[in-house]
């Protein structure tokens, strides 16, 4: 692995105690694409980044594979840790990239967090986000963007970690100091620690949440892969489909594959796109003890 991929791998290994436990370690079967293994499944949960797209580019062949699966009567649901935009905007993004998903075909970590917020009593939330995110998908929340004003941190009754674009060491220090003085709930809408970009890996909300857990007496509540809440939203869209007939497809051992194990479904690791493109997935499987049911070259 390159330095950045190795660093990303080690960052996930360092927080394993806060992630679900892996199931039994299967010996992965190898296949070129989903076409070779699709007979055994009725529903496919697809990770977005690394399976559907890299940045603003669709991965060649994925849209055609999805069309073939649907033509064979399969259900296809996108399960994404994208937290910065509502599912409706994700659907529009993927339509632009050539995928015909509508909002009923997508669940996200943001949706998992909003589902939980809808069950809770109102509270004044301080928000980590690059800009005040559009909350048309759950209006009436009391939100204050966390920036340079310390009052926003100290007056908040809880915190929502949604997006880390624009987040700075200064803001992290303010949040840590405020939580050290007084513990409050911290909900994390994107548990990813890093995200692969064209220029390397960016630090995501999960990175900052684990730092809070290390330095303050709080336990962040995570929404999204590898945690069960976002898979439960996908299962709600698949009534009558046995778990043994559902396959999770992703490029990350510590999110997609670990999450699939945690909820008891099979998984396929994409090896030639996304996280492991140009790297050695077999070594990572041995080192992490997280193994997919299948290793496929591409979707």
| Contact flag: residue 49 with Mg ion (CB under 5 A) | yes
Residues in the chain: 299
Bridge partners of 249? 46, 268
Which residue has the CB atom at the shortest distance from Mg ion?
Answer: 50
Bridge partners of 43? 75, 246
| Contact flag: residue 50 with Mg ion (CB under 5 A) | yes
Q: By CB under 5 A, how many residues form the interface with Mg ion?
A: 4
Nearer to Mg ion, 47 or 204 (CB): 47
Nearer to Mg ion, 216 or 257 (CB): 257
Euclidean distance between the first and final Cα of the chain, in Å?
Answer: 22
Stretch that binds Mg ion, among 32-40, 46-54, 177-185, 229-237 (CB under 5 A): 46-54
| Contact flag: residue 192 with Mg ion (CB under 5 A) | no
Nearest approach in angstroms of CB 196 to Mg ion is 8
**Helix spans in 34-187 (H):** 62-71, 87-96, 109-119, 150-154, 169-181
CA–CA separation, 196 and 30 (whole Å): 25
Q: SS3 of 108, please?
A: strand
| Contact flag: residue 12 with Mg ion (CB under 5 A) | no
For Mg ion, which residue of 42, 47, 105, 192 counts as binding (CB under 5 A)? Answer: 47
10: its two tokens:
């080690």
Q: Which residue has the tokens 């917020």?
A: 117
Q: Which of residues 246-275 bind Mg ion (CB under 5 A)?
A: 251
Nearest approach in angstroms of CB 119 to Mg ion is 28
**Contact set with Mg ion (CB under 5 A):** 47, 49-50, 251
């Amino acid at each position: 692995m390159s330095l950045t991929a190795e660093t990303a791998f080690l960052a996930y290994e360092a927080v394993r105690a806060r992630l679900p436990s892996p199931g039994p370690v299967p010996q992965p079967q190898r296949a070129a694409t989903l076409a070779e293994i699709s007979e055994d499944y009725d529903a496919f949960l697809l990770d977005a980044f690394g399976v559907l797209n890299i940045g603003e580019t669709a991965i060649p062949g994925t849209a055609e594979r999805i069309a073939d699966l649907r033509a064979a009567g399969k259900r296809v649901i996108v399960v994404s840790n994208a937290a910065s935009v509502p599912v409706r905007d994700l659907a529009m993004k993927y339509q632009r990239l050539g995928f015909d998903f509508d909002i009923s075909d997508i669940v996200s970590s943001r949706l998992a967090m909003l589902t939980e917020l809808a069950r809770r009593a109102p509270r004044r939330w301080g928000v980590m986000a690059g800009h005040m995110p559009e909350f048309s998908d759950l209006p009436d929340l009391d939100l204050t963007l966390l920036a340079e004003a310390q009052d926003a941190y100290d007056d908040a009754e809880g915190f929502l970690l949604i997006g880390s674009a624009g987040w700075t060491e200064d803001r992290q220090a303010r949040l840590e100091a405020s939580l050290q003085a007084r513990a409050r709930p911290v909900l994390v809408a994107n548990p990813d620690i890093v995200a692969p970009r064209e220029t390397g890996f960016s630090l995501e909300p999960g990175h900052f949440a684990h730092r809070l857990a290390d330095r303050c007496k709080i336990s962040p509540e995570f929404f999204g892969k590898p945690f069960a809440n976002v898979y439960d939203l996908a299962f709600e869209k698949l009534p009558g489909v046995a778990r043994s007939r559902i396959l999770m497809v992703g490029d990350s051992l510590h999110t997609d594959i670990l999450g699939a194990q945690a909820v008891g479904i099979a998984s396929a690791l994409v090896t030639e796109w996304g996280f492991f493109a140009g790297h050695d997935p077999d070594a990572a499987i041995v080192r992490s003890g997280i193994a997919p049911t299948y290793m496929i070259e591409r979707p």
